[in-house]
Amino acid sequence: MADVFRLSGEFSAAPAVFELGVQQAPEILAPLLQSLYLVRRLNLTLSLTSDSPVAVNFGSLSGAHVVVLQSTSKVRARYTSSDGSTQAVPVDPLQIQLSLAAPFTALDLTRLPGVNTEVTLFLGEKA
């Protein structure tokens, strides 16, 4: 039986303080709703204790269509997919990455120099 990955919620941006009689930018509000059947998933935690890149072991996943990263300090994530290799993206402290057409086949993480960092990952392969 397949698992279901769900990302739901909303994002918004609005003035922090309402001022009577002052023209203000309108609130931006958009719902988030993504669902995906998964054939395999993997949860893991990595301790980055060196300044060298650490490769993420995908275990039994042939590719990751969903990647959720949460770190205790800023890290650089380098993704590889059929769209390109070592595409570097900063993560500080959360990143949610979906790629349905071109799953990620490799991922490595690099911490800030000298900063011990814990990274929690969720990887999902679509069914």
Closest Cα partner for 67 from 90, 92, 42, 88?
42
pLDDT the model gives residue 53: 97
pLDDT digits (tens, 9 = 90+) for 29-56: 889 999 999 999 999 999 999 999 999 9
Give 24 or 64, the one with higher predicted confidence: 64
Answer whether residue 24 shows pLDDT above 90: no
pLDDT digits (tens, 9 = 90+) for 86-117: 889 999 999 999 999 999 999 999 999 999 99
Q: DSSP assignment of 26-72, as one string? A: PPEEEEEEEEEEEEEEEEEEEEE-SSS-EEPP-TT-S-BSEEEEEES
The two three-digit tokens of residue 82, written as one number = 């059929």
Identify the band that residue 1 occupies on the pLDDT scale cut at 50, 70 and 90: low
92 alpha carbon, distance to own chain's centre: 10
Q: What is the mean pLDDT of the chain?
A: 93
pLDDT the model gives residue 86: 82
User: Any idea where the domains of the chain sit in the sequence?
Assistant: 38-126
Domain covering 38-126, topology? Jelly Rolls (2.60.120)
Angle value at C-alpha 88, between 84 and 89, nearest 5 degrees: 125
pLDDT digits (tens, 9 = 90+) for 52-76: 999 999 999 999 999 999 999 999 9
Angstrom distance (rounded) from CA 86 to CA 93: 20
pLDDT the model gives residue 23: 75
Q: Any idea which residue has 């990274």 for tokens?
A: 119
Contact status, residue 124 vs residue 49, Cβ threshold 8 Å: no
The two three-digit tokens of residue 89, written as one number = 């993206």
Answer whether residue 3 shows pLDDT above 70: yes
